[in-house]
Structure 1
């Protein structure tokens, strides 16, 4: 049964009207980059809770979460309204197997996300393990609008720190943006446009992580499997590691 830490909100940054990042100060706790916890608020109708990936890396002094507001959601609208000093409970222990320890070695690592699915990758980018294991890392973030491209300053920092190792590829489907691609991920992969833009192969020697919209994951996974890549399982290691829950 989950235990709960009492947390205090230290910041609530709104990227736009329906996307925000919330930071929470809690007693220190251990987790592996890529894992998630549950956030909870007590309301007059009872406790409301939901799982969110940690954006911060292990060892950070605050827990951070990237949240998309769901208009009829039970929790996200409440989280969006929280201010500095407000209370928020965080579950323990952290959970999930969407971590680098579960990913086999490969010539390159593709971190493919949509929307808030970029969260666990940001946590991984702040660890030494990622940079030590893979010679080439491709971070793909597909969104509808430019304003959805959260944490670009963080990503730019890692690009400067690892200029020959990290390639960041935004995909914006509903607005024009210099340097961004503008089609659905499966189409970009099938035509080779994504690979050419990132200057990296996507084949049986690649490792691919998928996180975000369930339809994106299903469509991209099916296409990659048709290209000869296979799903990565503990009992049968492969190329495609998938986040199993939708946040």
Structure 2
């Protein structure tokens, strides 16, 4: 259903999944004519208890070719947006801005052979969207998906990720995926247990995947907790990795929502 405003449309929630008491995913109808690149985000709006509106940026989990939009969220204690959002369900409405934003997209990189997708928490969302795309699988020889969470129950999409080559229509390229779950607050057999920055600094992440970060071969995307993004940039910066800009190609891409 559409609102008569020029800035957004009013979309209906069609599916809701609770991963944990604090983590959930939901799907909405897709606005007519809404376009985006895998990795981008859109601003969502909800109505607060006092009747006012509140807006927040959310990366799409769904792919550009899907006829729905999917989002992945955490309930922020005391957060005015997620408190209102978490009270919604199937059949309720959310506002979806008409314009997709963001530069965490693969066209940031001119080349590269290994794509590292480093995420914490709900920062995984844009990377799932990218893995729905056949071109992502064709372009890189290895796709390393690192998802760092506190508890194993928070490893959302862990069952979906290994199927995404088939979902993208390139099942023959499935062996290009290296999925690395990381759990920091509980011991899980066979799963790494330190923060991403520590795993890079001590070389454990590279040992686990079987190859190293390399300035010529590696392209790295980072999404998640702002402190993690900054710290990971700093650790890789010590190895010579730099942000990729339109005029100056580099090896790193991050998302800035604000």
Give the TM bin, normalised by the shorter chain: over 0.9
Distance 2:145 2:135 in 1: 16
Runs of 4+ in structure 1 deviating by more than 6 angstroms, as ranges, are: none
CA shift for structure 1 position 171: 0.7
Correspondent of 1:174 among 185, 195, 209: 185
Correspondent of 1:73 among 79, 83, 91: 79
Mapping of residues 117-136 of structure 1, within 5 Å: 117-136=123-142
CA shift for structure 1 position 184: 1.5
Mapping of residues 159-198 of structure 1, within 5 Å: 161=171, 162-198=173-209
Correspondent of 2:219 among 207, 213, 216: 207
Contact 1:2 1:93 in 2 (8 A): no
Contact 2:144 2:178 in 1 (8 A): yes
TM-score by length of 2: 0.91
Contact 2:113 2:139 in 1 (8 A): no
Contact 1:42 1:48 in 2 (8 A): yes
Contact 1:6 1:26 in 2 (8 A): no
Which 5+ residue runs of structure 2 have no aligned equivalent? none
CA shift for structure 1 position 23: 0.8
1:6 paired residue number: 10
2:112 paired residue number: 106
CA shift for structure 1 position 216: 0.8
Mapping of residues 129-148 of structure 1, within 5 Å: 129-148=135-154
CA shift for structure 1 position 2: 6.8
CA shift for structure 1 position 49: 1.0
Contact 1:203 1:228 in 2 (8 A): no
Closer, same or farther in 2 for the Cα pair 1:76/1:118, shift >3 Å? Answer: same
TM-score by length of 1: 0.95
Q: After superposition, what is the alpha-carbon deviation per residue over 1:205-240, rounded to whole angstroms, capped at 9, x for unaligned?
A: 210000001111111111111112222121211111
CA shift for structure 1 position 45: 3.9
Distance 1:176 1:59 in 2: 38
Closer, same or farther in 2 for the Cα pair 1:103/1:233, shift >3 Å? Answer: same
CA shift for structure 1 position 104: 2.8
CA shift for structure 1 position 115: 0.5
Distance 1:140 1:12 in 2: 25
CA shift for structure 1 position 26: 3.0
Distance 1:169 1:104 in 2: 25
CA shift for structure 1 position 30: 1.1
Correspondent of 1:51 among 46, 54, 57: 57
Root mean square deviation of aligned Cα: 1.6
Contact 1:104 1:207 in 2 (8 A): no
CA shift for structure 1 position 245: 2.2
Distance 2:234 2:109 in 1: 19
Distance 2:225 2:199 in 1: 17
Distance 1:117 1:49 in 2: 18
Contact 1:34 1:99 in 2 (8 A): yes
Distance 1:88 1:218 in 2: 31
CA shift for structure 1 position 159: 6.5
